[in-house]
């Protein structure tokens, strides 16, 4: 077999391998390579998904040291994207060399041995700063990993570094006015940029992780999600983003992280979430974090999927053709769509969303700072260093506890009412999940002055002027977060202008494995998006 034929065969074979096969077969023994296996080039290595990278190790077609080196070189060559706050080159290379040595020695390795990942810079990491993209925590270093991070590291994952984000994760653009800025010298702003069009936002608040994965700095990573922060950037950057079940906390929370393991916004809504170029990669990380089996792709023929009209309204004219085409491909594959609306969902969500997100930080932020021995301990001390205009406004509302008086009613009446709308819907419509465009529009332009405070777009030929960017971008992602449901954004297609778009599926509480199984089947029908031209 010629070298090129060998490479084609490798990518063809690994593209058909399930995440379950990867988890069950990788790293259980040494794999020194097979005779005649052709080493992958740097470009081929950077194109690998997480499951493909693990398969490449098993096949002996690359080493962890070579792979990590190529990814770090890629990140360093594209610093203008501002995807990363910290790159741990020395630590990542040391970990990669250890994996290679252990593999050569025939030692038993973890299921993710040598898999490079990035971690959003609001999630605690031992030995690496967790800045939250904000000035008051610029030198803050936690003493231990967040549980989800620890699970991945114990399985052999290698942390390449910490990714950029909207300041304190309190926004949807990742136009961070603090990154690289000294409040005294007022150095220039460095917004996180979309790799498909660097004049546009990547979405937020997990924008840096999305950019790093889309731009091939890493095959996968971790973000966090409060109102859409894994799924909005996934949609804008052409990757997959997952929000696991949270429910009412306790046993209903899928991931083990607590409000002191990542910079908090809402103890009710916050969660860590995996991000990757494929749903199969997300399922793999989810399995390691939870200890659950990796699901296999679900049969699509006869699968019932709800189409709630409220989530399909007011789409940008560039989005609707992509969404309709994605829906048709699934119908052709046998999916049965049920036109059943979630009546009053948006109005009920409005009675819950900000009331939770702007009250719970009053207690959650000081509790996190104190528990982690941070250099500041109060909301007021954090406020002093804030520079992103929208985050300054959010913290003013927190400091004044503007929703404190409404909170009890929200938690005892309004949020349960929202959850009941979903429970009744799934019971009556008899669907496995609902589906709709993750975002109403493709990635908007960066506003370097106000952080994209407002935007305009066209829907049904009618111009929608001066719309609030935050509210517009999270319109479809926010309701399920307030209900605590699992949610997944899947790359669905590209606009005529070449911008990626995602479709979201939400399921009942605790249906995470089923949702991932559906997502893996869907992505097989839609196929991958082309890589950004960088």
Handedness of CA 188, 162, 390, 452 (dihedral sign): positive
Separation between Cα atoms, residue 289 and residue 516, nearest integer Å: 14
- Strand duo 304-306 + 433-437: pairing: parallel
Separation between Cα atoms, residue 388 and residue 205, nearest integer Å: 13
Q: What is the DSSP letter of 107?
A: -
Q: What is the DSSP letter of 403?
A: T
User: Partners of 193 in the beta sheet?
Assistant: none
**453 belongs to the catalytic site:** no
**373 belongs to the catalytic site:** no
Distances (CA, A) of 398 to 135, 170, 344, 364, 476: 18, 12, 28, 11, 24
Neighbours of 478 (CB within 10 A): 24
- The single residue of 136, 163, 205, 353 carrying the catalytic annotation is 205
- The single residue of 148, 174, 229, 287 carrying the catalytic annotation is 229
- The single residue of 58, 120, 151, 162 carrying the catalytic annotation is 120
Contact indicator for 278, 314 with CB cutoff of 8 Å: no
**235 belongs to the catalytic site:** no
Contact indicator for 201, 255 with CB cutoff of 8 Å: no
| φ, ψ at 144 (rounded to 5°) | -150, 160
- Strand duo 454-459 + 336-338: pairing: unpaired
Torsion of CA 325, 327, 331, 336, to 10 degrees: -160
Contact indicator for 319, 442 with CB cutoff of 8 Å: yes
User: Is the previous residue joined to 163 through a cis bond, with omega within 30 degrees of 0?
Assistant: no
Cite the active site residues. 120, 205, 229
């Amino acid at each position: 077999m010629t070298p090129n034929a060998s490479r084609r065969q490798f990518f063809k074979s690994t593209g058909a391998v399930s995440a379950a096969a990867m988890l069950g077969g990788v790293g259980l023994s040494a794999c020194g390579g097979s005779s005649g296996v052709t080493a992958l080039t740097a470009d081929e290595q950077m194109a690998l998904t997480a499951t493909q990278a693990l398969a490449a190790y098993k096949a002996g077609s690359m080493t962890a040291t070579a792979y990590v080196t190529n990814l770090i070189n890629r990140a360093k060559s594209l610093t203008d994207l501002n995807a990363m706050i910290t790159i741990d080159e020395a630590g990542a290379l040391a970990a990669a060399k250890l994996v290679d040595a252990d593999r050569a020695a025939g030692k038993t390795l973890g299921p993710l041995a040598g898999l490079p990942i990035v971690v959003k810079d609001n999630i605690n990491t031992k030995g690496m700063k967790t800045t939250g993209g904000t000035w008051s925590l610029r030198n803050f270093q936690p003493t231990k990993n967040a549980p989800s991070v620890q699970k991945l590291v114990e399985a052999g994952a290698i942390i390449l570094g910490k990714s950029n984000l909207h300041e304190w994760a309190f926004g949807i653009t990742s136009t961070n006015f603090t990154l690289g800025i000294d409040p005294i010298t007022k150095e220039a702003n460095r917004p996180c940029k979309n790799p498909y069009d660097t004049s546009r936002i990547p979405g937020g608040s997990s924008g840096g992780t999305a950019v790093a994965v889309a731009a091939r700095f890493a095959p996968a990573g971790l973000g966090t999600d409060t109102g859409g922060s894994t799924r909005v950037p996934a949609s804008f950057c052409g990757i997959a983003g997952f929000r696991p079940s949270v429910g009412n906390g306790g046993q209903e929370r899928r991931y083990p992280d607590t409000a002191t393991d990542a910079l908090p916004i809402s103890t009710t809504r916050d969660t860590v979430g995996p991000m990757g170029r494929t749903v199969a990669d997300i399922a793999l990380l989810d399995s390691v974090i939870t200890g659950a089996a990796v699901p296999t792709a679900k049969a699509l023929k006869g699968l019932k999927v709800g189409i709630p009209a409220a989530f399909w309204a007011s789409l940008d004219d560039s989005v609707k053709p992509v969404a309709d085409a994605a829906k048709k491909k699934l119908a052709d594959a046998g999916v049965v769509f049920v036109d059943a609306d979630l009546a009053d969902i948006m109005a009920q969500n409005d009675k819950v969303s900000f009331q939770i997100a702007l009250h719970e930080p009053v207690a959650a932020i000081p509790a996190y700072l104190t528990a982690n021995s941070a250099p500041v301990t109060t909301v007021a001390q954090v406020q002093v260093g804030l520079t992103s205009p929208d985050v300054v406004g959010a913290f003013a509302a927190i400091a004044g506890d503007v929703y404190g008086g409404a909170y009890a009613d929200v938690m005892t009446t309004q949020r349960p009412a929202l959850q009941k709308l979903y429970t009744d819907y799934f019971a009556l419509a008899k669907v496995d999940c609902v589906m709709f465009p993750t975002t109403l529009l493709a990635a908007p332009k960066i506003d370097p002055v106000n952080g994209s405070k407002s935007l305009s777009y066209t829907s049904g030929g009618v111009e929608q002027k001066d719309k609030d960017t935050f509210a517009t971008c999270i319109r479809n992602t926010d309701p399920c977060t307030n209900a605590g449901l699992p949610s997944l954004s899947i790359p669905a297609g590209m606009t005529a202008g070449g911008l990626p778009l995602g479709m979201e599926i939400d399921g009942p509480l605790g249906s995470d494995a089923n949702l991932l199984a559906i997502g893996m089947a869907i992505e097989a029908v839609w196929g991958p998006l082309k890589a950004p031209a960088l």
